[in-house]
């Protein structure tokens, strides 16, 4: 393991040797910069070139940063542009609902909070960016799971890792699958202390124009406040999620019809 980490560090250090002042470097210059033998340097260069992180110049003697880094940079740029559009919407939603608004995406077997706007109440829910939750608990997570293909849902349930986060967490596969079907049918999820004690939430899917789910949008807060205005918040989250779908993923058009399950 330590050898792998050391190799990864050397690879990253290789990329960091490049700059505006040093757009191209020879193998010898990279070897000197890393303070490692030239023969070892060539092995790193071969790997980085093969993966697209570096390009070998036509003169065959120098290297420069590759197209893969451009692709990754474009992903970051896209993410920043997404936030520029998303945050103003979420702030207005928070004012209208008077609660915290969460924007989550799926990452492997978890839901990840990538944006959040807290309410102005004295007692608030203040989730951390990057916070991860299992897909079977909390409105924001269950919406993401409910709108996946049946094969994905079956694989998730087959893992047998339905951790019980609170007394209200659903851990029986059959019951969870039934709950997911209901979420999909009604177009939203409501959860009461499933992932955190004292917290309730309503969540809805953010859809792409082809009907695929892109993210979940959730209104969350102290359970007493959420339950008191549950029906109102359900109507709001369905309206909010449609607006975000249209603004971010459908260029103002109506999101596509939900795909049939396969």
89, HSE (Cβ side, Cα atoms, 13 Å): 22
Residues linked to residue 190 through DSSP beta bridges, in sequence order = 202
Q: Going from the N-terminus, what domains does the chain have, and what CATH number goes with each?
A: 2-65 (1.10.10.10), 75-249 (3.30.450.40)
Evaluate if pTM is beyond 0.75: no
Question: How confident is the prediction along the chain (262 residues), in pLDDT tens digits per residue?
Answer: 455 567 788 888 888 888 877 888 999 999 999 898 998 899 889 889 888 888 888 767 899 888 787 666 655 555 555 667 788 899 999 999 999 999 998 888 889 888 888 887 655 555 666 778 899 999 999 999 999 999 999 999 998 889 999 999 999 999 999 999 999 999 999 999 999 999 999 999 999 888 889 899 999 999 999 999 999 999 999 999 999 998 887 655 555 554 444 4
Cα 188 to Cα 20, 42, 54, 237, 254, distances in angstroms? 49, 54, 45, 8, 18
């Amino acid at each position: 393991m330590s050898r792998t980490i050391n190799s990864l560090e050397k690879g990253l250090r290789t990329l960091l040797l490049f700059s505006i002042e040093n757009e191209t470097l020879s193998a010898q210059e990279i070897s000197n910069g890393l303070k490692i033998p030239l023969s070892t340097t060539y092995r790193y260069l071969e790997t980085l070139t093969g993966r697209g992180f570096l390009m070998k110049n036509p003169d065959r003697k120098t290297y420069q940063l590759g197209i893969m880094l451009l692709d990754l940079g474009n992903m970051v740029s896209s993410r920043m542009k997404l936030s520029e559009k998303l945050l103003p919407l979420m702030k207005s939603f928070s004012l209208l609902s008077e609660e915290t608004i969460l924007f989550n995406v799926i990452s492997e077997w978890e839901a990840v909070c990538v944006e959040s706007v807290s309410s102005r109440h004295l007692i608030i829910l203040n989730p951390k960016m990057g916070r991860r939750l299992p897909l079977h608990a909390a409105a924001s997570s269950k919406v993401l799971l409910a709108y996946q293909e049946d094969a994905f849902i079956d694989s998730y349930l087959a893992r047998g890792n339905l951790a019980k986060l609170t007394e209200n967490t659903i851990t029986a596969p059959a019951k969870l699958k039934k709950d997911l079907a209901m979420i999909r049918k009604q177009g939203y999820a409501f959860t009461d202390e499933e992932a955190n004690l004292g917290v309730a939430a309503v969540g809805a899917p953010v859809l792409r124009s082809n009907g695929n789910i892109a993210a979940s949008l959730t209104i969350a807060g102290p359970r007493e406040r959420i339950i008191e205005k549950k029906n109102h918040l359900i109507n709001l989250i369905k309206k909010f999620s449609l607006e975000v779908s249209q603004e971010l993923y459908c260029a103002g058009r109506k999101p596509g019809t939900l795909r049939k399950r396969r």
